[in-house]
């Protein structure tokens, strides 16, 4: 599948390389898997720390990578108003680190969903290690049964892959109990003029995600929340310098230190493309194209 998808990506015409491409659910899963469905150790090595966040950390002076990961998750917990006994959903749970941390520290139960089967054994082993009360499932969010069962739902730099964000927020509303909280952390364009993203650097970054990029402005996201009966609670603005530090001082450093090992897990081309993708993101950050926000909203 990886080889077939690589051929499809490399041969894509220019108009198919832009943002906001629409795919049916099966192709969307295949394309997202192109990026994520590799040896789990690949991402564990690059992201590092105890919880292996594949997203921006939140830094304080002198903090370790693990502490920076936990600081961000503690913000998620605060914005979800977590209390013992609550039941939460992690959309795009990765290798289980965030959900396991939240469940064991805040005494909640959780369910994590992903479309990457290779991540599940890692997540389940982590839950067992910490005796965290959480489960994991390979399922697309569209296929979740619409039952009001969660007190809170969160995602961390995942909704960029959702072309139908309006549909996702509608599904989240169906899954949340009355008064439930949804928290999303995501990069947002600072101005709608950036949405074209047809320069070579932007297209390379989107290629790494198999052309599943759907970056939006913060206003776009807030309008969709409003359309689906969510009331805005809080917007937390994270300085983009936190992301530069995460990538430059940790992810790129880890990639360079373990490049030979990472290459054996994937290929030299994959590792080189990944490195260019990380460096490209940091270059775009310096151009002030993106802001980074955590948004919390209550189901009204």
Look at residue 2 in the predicted model and tell me its pLDDT.
62
Q: Is the pLDDT confidence value at 294 over 80?
A: yes
Mean pLDDT to the nearest integer, 34-55 = 95
CA dist., res. 91 & res. 175, Å (int): 12
CA distances from 143 to 25, 176, 268 (A): 10, 15, 36
Q: Is the pLDDT confidence value at 4 over 80?
A: no
pTM above 0.85, yes or no: yes
Q: Which long-range contacts (CB under 8 A, 24 or more apart) does 1-10 make?
A: 1/30, 1/33, 2/34, 2/37, 5/30, 5/31, 5/33, 5/34, 5/210, 6/34, 9/34, 9/207, 9/210, 9/211
Mean pLDDT to the nearest integer, 78-105 = 98
- Render 237-270 in DSSP notation, one character per residue: EEPTHHHHHHIIIIIHHHHHHTHHHHHHHS-HHH
* Model pLDDT for residues 120-154, shown as the tens digit of each residue: 999 999 999 999 999 999 999 999 999 999 999 99
Q: Which residue has the higher pLDDT, 300 or 87?
A: 87
Among candidate residues 246, 188, 234, the one with its CA nearest the CA of residue 76: 234
Look at residue 66 in the predicted model and tell me its pLDDT.
98
185 close to 157: Cβ distance less than 8 angstroms? yes
Among candidate residues 109, 105, 4, the one with its CA nearest the CA of residue 50: 105
Q: Which long-range contacts (CB under 8 A, 24 or more apart) does 261-264 make?
A: 261/45, 262/42, 262/45, 262/46
CA distances from 170 to 26, 40, 82, 140, 182 (A): 20, 31, 22, 15, 12
Look at residue 199 in the predicted model and tell me its pLDDT.
86
Mean pLDDT to the nearest integer, 196-212 = 89
Give the gyration radius of the chain's Cα atoms. Answer: 18
Q: Which residue has the higher pLDDT, 196 or 299?
A: 299
Look at residue 3 in the predicted model and tell me its pLDDT.
66
Q: What are φ and ψ of residue 196, in 5° steps?
A: -65, -45
Q: Is the pLDDT confidence value at 1 over 60?
A: no
Full set of structural domains in the chain with CATH = 2-10+18-299 (3.40.50.150)
């Amino acid at each position: 599948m990886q080889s077939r998808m690589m051929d499809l990506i490399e041969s894509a015409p220019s108009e198919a390389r832009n943002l906001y491409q629409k795919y049916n659910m099966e192709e969307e899963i295949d394309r997202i898997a192109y990026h994520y469905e590799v040896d789990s150790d690949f991402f564990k090595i690059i992201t590092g720390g105890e919880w292996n966040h594949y997203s921006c950390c939140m830094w304080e002076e002198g903090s370790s990578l693990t502490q920076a990961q936990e600081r961000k998750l503690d913000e998620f917990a605060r914005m979800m108003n977590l209390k013992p006994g609550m039941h939460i959903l992690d959309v795009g749970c990765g290798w289980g680190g965030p959900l396991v941390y939240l469940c064991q520290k805040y005494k909640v139960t959780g369910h994590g969903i992903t479309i990457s089967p290779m991540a599940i054994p890692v997540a389940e082993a982590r839950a067992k290690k910490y005796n965290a009360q959480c489960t994991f499932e390979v399922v697309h969010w569209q296929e979740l049964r619409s039952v009001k069962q969660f007190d809170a739902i969160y995602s961390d730099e995942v909704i960029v892959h959702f072309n139908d964000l309006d549909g996702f927020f509608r599904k989240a509303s169906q899954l949340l109990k009355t008064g439930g909280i949804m928290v999303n952390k995501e990069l947002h364009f600072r101005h709608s003029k950036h949405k074209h993203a047809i320069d070579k650097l932007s297209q390379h970054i989107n290629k790494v995600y198999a052309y599943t990029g759907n970056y939006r402005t913060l206003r776009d996201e807030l309008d969709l929340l409003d359309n689906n009966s969510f009331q805005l609670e809080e917007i937390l603005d994270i300085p983009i310098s936190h992301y530069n530090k995460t990538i430059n001082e940790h992810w790129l450093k880890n990639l360079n230190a373990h490049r030979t090992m990472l290459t054996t897990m994937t290929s030299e081309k994959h590792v080189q493309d990944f490195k260019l993708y990380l460096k490209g993101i940091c270059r775009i950050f310096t151009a002030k194209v993106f802001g980074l926000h955590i948004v919390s909203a209550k189901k009204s």
